[in-house]
Structure 1
Amino acid sequence: MTGLMKRFWADEIGATAIEYGLLAAILGMGIVFSLTNFQIALTNLFGVVESQVPDGSAH
Protein backbone atom coordinates (compact mmCIF):
# COMPACT_ATOMS: atom_id res chain seq x y z
CA MET A 1 0.00 0.00 0.00
CA THR A 2 2.82 2.43 0.79
CA GLY A 3 4.39 1.73 -2.61
CA LEU A 4 1.16 2.76 -4.28
CA MET A 5 1.03 5.99 -2.26
CA LYS A 6 4.67 6.81 -3.07
CA ARG A 7 4.02 6.34 -6.79
CA PHE A 8 0.88 8.49 -6.57
CA TRP A 9 2.72 11.39 -4.89
CA ALA A 10 5.69 11.09 -7.29
CA ASP A 11 3.46 11.18 -10.40
CA GLU A 12 3.67 14.68 -11.93
CA ILE A 13 1.84 14.14 -15.22
CA GLY A 14 -1.43 15.59 -13.91
CA ALA A 15 0.37 18.52 -12.30
CA THR A 16 1.86 19.53 -15.65
CA ALA A 17 -1.56 19.48 -17.29
CA ILE A 18 -2.98 21.62 -14.49
CA GLU A 19 -0.12 24.10 -14.83
CA TYR A 20 -0.73 24.43 -18.56
CA GLY A 21 -4.44 24.88 -17.92
CA LEU A 22 -3.81 27.64 -15.40
CA LEU A 23 -1.37 29.33 -17.75
CA ALA A 24 -3.91 29.24 -20.58
CA ALA A 25 -6.62 30.65 -18.29
CA ILE A 26 -4.40 33.51 -17.14
CA LEU A 27 -3.39 34.34 -20.70
CA GLY A 28 -7.02 34.23 -21.81
CA MET A 29 -8.06 36.61 -19.06
CA GLY A 30 -5.23 38.96 -20.02
CA ILE A 31 -6.31 38.95 -23.66
CA VAL A 32 -9.95 39.67 -22.73
CA PHE A 33 -8.88 42.51 -20.42
CA SER A 34 -6.61 44.01 -23.10
CA LEU A 35 -9.24 43.81 -25.82
CA THR A 36 -11.86 45.37 -23.54
CA ASN A 37 -9.57 48.32 -22.83
CA PHE A 38 -8.75 48.60 -26.53
CA GLN A 39 -12.45 48.69 -27.39
CA ILE A 40 -13.08 51.45 -24.86
CA ALA A 41 -10.16 53.48 -26.23
CA LEU A 42 -11.39 53.07 -29.82
CA THR A 43 -14.92 54.09 -28.83
CA ASN A 44 -13.57 57.24 -27.19
CA LEU A 45 -11.34 58.01 -30.18
CA PHE A 46 -14.15 57.70 -32.70
CA GLY A 47 -16.40 59.77 -30.45
CA VAL A 48 -13.85 62.59 -30.50
CA VAL A 49 -13.42 62.32 -34.28
CA GLU A 50 -17.19 62.29 -34.80
CA SER A 51 -17.63 65.42 -32.71
CA GLN A 52 -15.02 67.27 -34.78
CA VAL A 53 -16.33 66.34 -38.24
CA PRO A 54 -19.06 68.62 -39.60
CA ASP A 55 -22.29 66.81 -40.43
CA GLY A 56 -22.78 68.53 -43.80
CA SER A 57 -26.41 69.50 -43.22
CA ALA A 58 -25.73 73.26 -43.14
CA HIS A 59 -25.54 74.42 -46.80
Structure 2
Amino acid sequence: MKTVLLRFAANESGATAIEYGMLASLVGCGIIVAATTLGTDISTFFTTVGTKLAGTVVP
Protein backbone atom coordinates (compact mmCIF):
# COMPACT_ATOMS: atom_id res chain seq x y z
CA MET A 1 0.00 0.00 0.00
CA LYS A 2 2.85 2.36 0.80
CA THR A 3 4.43 1.88 -2.63
CA VAL A 4 1.11 2.64 -4.34
CA LEU A 5 0.79 5.92 -2.45
CA LEU A 6 4.40 6.85 -3.19
CA ARG A 7 3.89 6.17 -6.91
CA PHE A 8 0.70 8.22 -6.87
CA ALA A 9 2.49 11.15 -5.18
CA ALA A 10 5.39 10.99 -7.66
CA ASN A 11 3.11 10.86 -10.73
CA GLU A 12 3.06 14.30 -12.41
CA SER A 13 1.00 13.50 -15.52
CA GLY A 14 -2.16 14.90 -13.93
CA ALA A 15 -0.41 18.15 -13.08
CA THR A 16 0.77 18.46 -16.68
CA ALA A 17 -2.77 17.98 -17.97
CA ILE A 18 -4.05 20.66 -15.60
CA GLU A 19 -1.31 23.06 -16.75
CA TYR A 20 -2.25 22.49 -20.40
CA GLY A 21 -5.90 23.05 -19.54
CA MET A 22 -5.11 26.32 -17.79
CA LEU A 23 -2.96 27.46 -20.71
CA ALA A 24 -5.73 26.62 -23.20
CA SER A 25 -8.29 28.57 -21.15
CA LEU A 26 -5.95 31.58 -20.98
CA VAL A 27 -5.46 31.52 -24.76
CA GLY A 28 -9.23 31.22 -25.23
CA CYS A 29 -9.86 34.26 -23.03
CA GLY A 30 -7.29 36.24 -25.01
CA ILE A 31 -9.00 35.31 -28.28
CA ILE A 32 -12.39 36.37 -26.93
CA VAL A 33 -11.06 39.75 -25.78
CA ALA A 34 -9.29 40.37 -29.09
CA ALA A 35 -12.33 39.38 -31.16
CA THR A 36 -14.61 41.62 -29.11
CA THR A 37 -12.29 44.60 -29.44
CA LEU A 38 -11.65 44.11 -33.15
CA GLY A 39 -15.33 43.48 -33.81
CA THR A 40 -16.25 46.82 -32.28
CA ASP A 41 -13.50 48.64 -34.18
CA ILE A 42 -14.43 47.02 -37.50
CA SER A 43 -18.11 47.79 -36.97
CA THR A 44 -17.30 51.43 -36.26
CA PHE A 45 -15.07 51.62 -39.35
CA PHE A 46 -17.74 50.24 -41.69
CA THR A 47 -20.39 52.50 -40.17
CA THR A 48 -18.17 55.52 -40.80
CA VAL A 49 -17.45 54.44 -44.39
CA GLY A 50 -21.16 53.80 -45.03
CA THR A 51 -22.09 57.20 -43.66
CA LYS A 52 -19.53 58.95 -45.85
CA LEU A 53 -20.59 57.00 -48.93
CA ALA A 54 -24.26 57.82 -48.32
CA GLY A 55 -23.42 61.51 -48.56
CA THR A 56 -21.77 61.19 -51.99
CA VAL A 57 -23.69 61.27 -55.27
CA VAL A 58 -22.83 58.65 -57.85
CA PRO A 59 -23.27 60.03 -61.40
The alignment's TM-score, normalised by the length of structure 1, stands at 0.79
2:38 alignment counterpart:
38
SS at match of 1:40: helix
Deviations, residues 1-59 of structure 1 (Å, cap 9, x unaligned): 33222211110011111111111111011111101111000011111111211264xx9
2:52 alignment counterpart:
52
| Number of positions where the alignment pairs a residue of Structure 1 with one of Structure 2 | 58
How much is the aligned-residue C-alpha RMSD, in angstroms?
1.8
The alignment's TM-score, normalised by the length of structure 2, stands at 0.79
Quick one: percent identity of the two aligned structures? 37
